[in-house]
Amino acid sequence: MSSLSHHETYLYDSKTFANQALSSPQNLAAVLDHTLLKPDATRNQVLQLCHEAAEHRFACAMVNPTWVQLAADALKGTGIPVGVVIGFPLGATLSASKRDETARVLKHGAHDVDMVLNIGLFKSAAAADYEAVKQDIRGVVELAHGAGAIVKVILETCLLTFEEKLRAAELALSAGADFLKTSTGFSTGGATVDDIGLLRGVAGSRAGVKASGGIRSLADTSAMLHAGASRIGASASVKIVNELAGSESGPVSNNGY
């Protein structure tokens, strides 16, 4: 990378990445965060999620904090990481609470930490507010990186203007985010092709871009990958890989993600 020009280090080849991801069900599974975040998810449903994540070799099994230990135990020895959401779904948790929650889930075995931007504070738009949002993210990033984990910052793009999306993306990157993520899946809208393109344009090759919220089919997934997503969050992950394999099975999951 050091031999590349400054401009070249920011290039990201969405077409090549998408074609590779869509070349086989196994490759596609490797970019899907298999997700179960509905509030009424039960122990058995979380265990089923973990079983499916291990069977299909998904990028991670994404759960709410209360289930991290269960998921880590279920996935032990499989090589499949546990993902967890922090400050979810509003982002309005105290920074100290986000850090405490992060420290605890890391201790219980989480590897992918998807935290929600403090949206209201960000939209307040004063310089001090932007700095507070940056420090909110950085506090989580420092803990995660110190434990060898990664952080995806959920911007909740449906609540932001075009200019706010650009600023939020740059702010998250400056705070050390490993991924820019579109949505919680619990607000007024989910991922869009336009937002993925915008976030990839900001991130270049500096960070990943995760599309989440409303992605329920292979067509949805393909569109997001070609727009620049490098990770997909979905509860319909099994259906999506089965579509690619030509053996679509079961109804579409509709549990808010």
Q: Is residue 133 part of a domain?
A: yes
Active-site position among 98, 152, 165, 181: 181
Number of domains composing the chain: 1
Is 112 annotated in the active site? no
- The residue written with tokens 């506090």 in the block is 139
- Greatest alpha-carbon pair distance for the chain in Å reads 53
What pLDDT sits at residue 106?
98
Q: Is residue 257 part of a domain?
A: no
Q: Is residue 251 part of a domain?
A: no
Is 210 annotated in the active site? yes
Q: Is residue 30 part of a domain?
A: yes
Q: Is residue 173 part of a domain?
A: yes
Domain that holds residue 16: 8-245
pTM: 0.93
Which CATH number goes with the domain that contains 136?
3.20.20.70
- CA separation for the pair 118, 155 (Å, rounded): 9
pLDDT in tens, 136-158: 999 999 999 999 999 999 999 99
Is 181 annotated in the active site? yes
Active-site position among 178, 210, 220, 239: 210
Q: Is residue 254 part of a domain?
A: no
Active-site position among 33, 98, 112, 114: 114
pLDDT tier at 8 (50, 70, 90 boundaries)? very low
Q: Is residue 20 part of a domain?
A: yes
Q: Is residue 255 part of a domain?
A: no
